[in-house]
Structures are given as structure tokens and as C-alpha cells.
Chains A and B, each alone.
Chain A
Amino acid sequence: MSADLFDFVLGLGDDALIAAQRLGEWTSRAPEMEEDIALANIALDQLGAARLLLTYAGELEGAGRDEDALAYLRGDREFRNCLLVELPNGDFAVTMAKLFFLSAYQLPLYDALAGCGDERLAAIGAKARKESAYHLDHSSLWVRRLGDGTEESHRRMQEAVDQVWPYTHELFAADPAAPVDPAGLRAGFEATVEPVLTEATLTRPGDGFTPGGGRQGLHTEHLSFLLAEMQVLHRAHPGARW
């Protein structure tokens, strides 16, 4: 088996898993009932993609680890998710900025996977891209609504975009050996994102600061706290079932 392919699939699975966990934190806390349900649904979609990707990663590795072993029994340095997804939710604007950039990356990624030579990834991509299209639609709606809203909502949406933007660079780090090289998705991402920012009367931030390291297991301190909460039950009661 290819160690490179394992790392690639693990990275995408971890992106979806950590995004699901963060979005799930909004459950019962969203600003309105409809949004509470929307965020929970999007979290569920991310979790569904994570399960398929991590199951496949476990099979590629061939060491007997299933989706649960990969999700619950790894330490923070063994996670390969991008930093973007582990950042705290912040206010609603930060959550929407994160979701907007994530789905503007995941949609073309899954779309490209749907046409790639790896049969398993192609099936996962074809399924997940339909769901990503809804996530992108929903988050870009909020970015426009808040950006082009009141003075206060505009201020907070711009702050959120400024805060999250640097973390988008890591998503497109070149990986020429991968079934889909993320570097090739950058142009499509910008073509999606820029018109929405313009319509939202928001300014596209500069590209000076480009934090990264998630794909190599070098994370922010936020991931450790997230994992502690996500993994505690499974670690305290290994193999527990409902």
C-alpha cells in the first residue's frame, strides 16, 4: 500500500471529522432555531464523509485500525487535519467564515476526486460533493447577509474573514503524488470566494501570513482541547456501545 495515499486520505478524513466536532458545538447554542438545525445537519454531513474517509484510510494502512481507532485513539500530533477546522468557533461570523472557506475548498476537491482514478475516493467524492454544494450555498448566504448587513454585522464579518483567511493557504499546499493535487484547486477556490466577498462588501485580506503544519501533525493548542472532549468517553470506556 502507498503511505502517501494513506496520509492524503487521513488528512481529508481528519478535516471532515474535526469540522464536524466543531460545528456540533453549536448544537443548542445557535442564534436561531433554524440555524441550530442547519449547523447540526452540516456537522452530520461532515461526520458522514469522515467515517467513509477514515474507514478507507484504515484499510489502506492495513494495520487493523478502523474508523473508531483512528478517531478516538490517536494523539494530537497524529492528526493530519488542516489548522482551519480546529480553530475555535468564535462568534457566528467566524464560524461562517470558516465554513465558507472550508466548503469552497471541499466542493472542488470532492468534485475532482469524483473523477479520479481511485475507485473508492471517486465514490466518496461523488457522494460528498452534493452535500458540500449545500454547505457552500448556506455559508455564502450568511457571509453576504452579514457583510452587507448592518454596520456591526459588517464589522464582525470583516474581522472574521481577516482572522480566518491566513489559514486557507494550507489547504492548497502542493502534493503532486496525491490523486488530486490540492495546489490545482486554488484558482477555483478564489473564483468562488472573491465574488461573494465583493457582493458582501468585504475586503479580501492580504496573503502575507500563511500558518500551516497541520498536514504534518503540527497543530495549534486548540486541537488538544477538542480531542480531549471528543475522545474522553471512548478512552474511559474502550469499546463501549450504546
Chain B
Amino acid sequence: MVNPREAAAAVVDPEIRVITIDELGILRSVETDPATGRVVVTITPTYTGCPAMDVIRADVRRALAAAGHPDAEVRTVYSPAWSTDWISDSGRAKLSAAGIAPPAPVARPNVVPLTLAVRCPRCGSPETEQVSRFGSTACKALWRCRSCSEPFDHLKAL
């Protein structure tokens, strides 16, 4: 049997298929209920209305079943609320490689916000502009590079 944590962590996000749910930070825990021996996987949505949640639940159950845990339970929690700060370094690197500019750190209250330029994931130029703060999925904004003219997605800080 494959370790249930590894099986769940390998599930890819259905809307951004280059990154796993673990790297995205929406996989919160994988535990084994000591009384029943059942695996309990806890996930949290990026946005409240994220339409991918049902698919993610099904994919996690399928991955756990394939790993020898057919009765695994998937729970959804809303607190603490997901933040783009939970995306791992490997996740950020994969987003960038796939042409999606990763998010800047979320501004903290009482801290002078740093306005970091969003770098073009194609050519690396900081000469970019936002076209629309809403993009192809709830978590993305649409940007454009002024150097190479390519439009690109940017995972917006949340």
C-alpha cells in the first residue's frame, strides 16, 4: 500500500494541471482515524465558489482507493481561509514554468506594502500591466507583457 499522505499529495489541481493540491496548499491534512483505521483527508477551497471542489474530492478518493484505501473520507474545511502564501516554492516554480505568474506575498496589516512588479513568465520582463483582475478561473487575473506583448495569467494574491 502506498502511504496515504503521498497518494493524496500527488493529486493534481483539475484547473491548473501543472501543480498538485499539496503544492497549491489546499491539502490540509491526511490522518488515519485510530478507531476505524479509515483515512481522513482534509481539503480547503481556494475560493468559496470554486467549481473544481467536487472533482478534487473525487480525484482524492480515487487516488486513495488506488493506494489501497477504498474507504477514505474527504472532509472540506473553510477555516483558516486559504491564502496564496500557502503555495509552496516548488508550486510557484511550476506555475511560472507553465506561463502563470505566481502571486506576490499577501500584504499584512500594519506593514508597508511592497508593490512588486509582476514579471512576465515568458521573458522575465517587469514591464507588465493588468488587463483584467478576473481571469479564466476564480484565482487568476489576466495580464499582458509590454516587452514581448504576450498575455499571461497571474495567480492573484489572496
Binding site for B on A (CB under 8 A): 34-35, 37-38, 40-42, 44-49, 51-52, 119, 122-124, 126-128, 130-131, 134, 137-138
Contact = CB atoms under 8 A, between A and B. Distances in A.
Contact of B81 (A38, A42, A126, A134): A126
Closest 3 CB pairs of A and B: A48-B49, A48-B48, A123-B79
Contact of B49 (A34, A47, A126): A47
B133 A137 contact: yes
A128 B48 contact: yes
Secondary structure at chain A's binding surface: helix, strand, loop or mixed?
helix
A47 to B, nearest CB: 5
Contacts of B81: 123, 126-127, 130
Contacts of B50: 48
Contacts, number: 67
B131 A34 contact: yes
A37 B134 contact: yes
A60 to B, nearest CB: 16
A20 to B, nearest CB: 8
A130 B156 CA distance: 11
Interface string B114-158: 000000000000000001111110100010000000000000101
B49 A45 contact: yes
Contacts of B131: 34
B80 interface: yes
Contact of A42 (B80, B82, B134): B134
Contacts of A41: 134-135, 138
B49 A46 contact: yes
Nearest to A46: B49
A45 B79 contact: no
Nearest to B130: A34
A138 B135 CA distance: 13
27 contacts: A37-B134, A37-B135, A38-B132, A40-B134, A41-B135, A44-B51, A44-B138, A45-B47, A45-B49, A46-B49, A48-B45, A48-B48, A48-B50, A49-B48, A49-B49, A51-B48, A119-B79, A122-B79, A123-B78, A123-B79, A124-B78, A128-B48, A130-B158, A134-B133, A134-B134, A137-B133, A138-B134
B48 A52 contact: yes
A37 B138 contact: no
Contacts of A40: 134
